[in-house]
Amino acid sequence: MKIDNILIDFFICFIATHFSDSVFEYCILLKWVMYNFFYFVSGASFAISSLLIEYDLVNAKIHK
């Protein structure tokens, strides 16, 4: 994900929550929070799986 997309979404959510009370704009904020949460979770799961694969490769070399 590109950093400019994060900044644009954050700016939209900032404007929405500070200058209006409409439900639609709070949904934009919720979308931004959920998107970044799932982005973080997918990145964390990728990192964990990469570490497990590396651990398996190291074990395979040791026990060879």
Predicted local distance difference test score (pLDDT) of residue 48: 80
Give backbone dihedrals phi and psi of 31, rounded to 5 degrees, phi first.
-60, -45
DSSP for residue 63: T
Mean pLDDT of all residues belonging to the chain: 70
Q: How far, in Å, CA of 13 to CA of 15, rounded? A: 5
Q: What is the mean pLDDT of each run of 10 residues along the chain (64 residues)?
A: 64 66 68 76 78 74 62
Q: How far, in Å, CA of 6 to CA of 56, rounded? A: 35
Predicted local distance difference test score (pLDDT) of residue 11: 72
- Contact (Cβ atoms closer than 8 angstroms) between residue 26 and residue 16: yes
Q: Is the pTM of this model over 0.85?
A: no
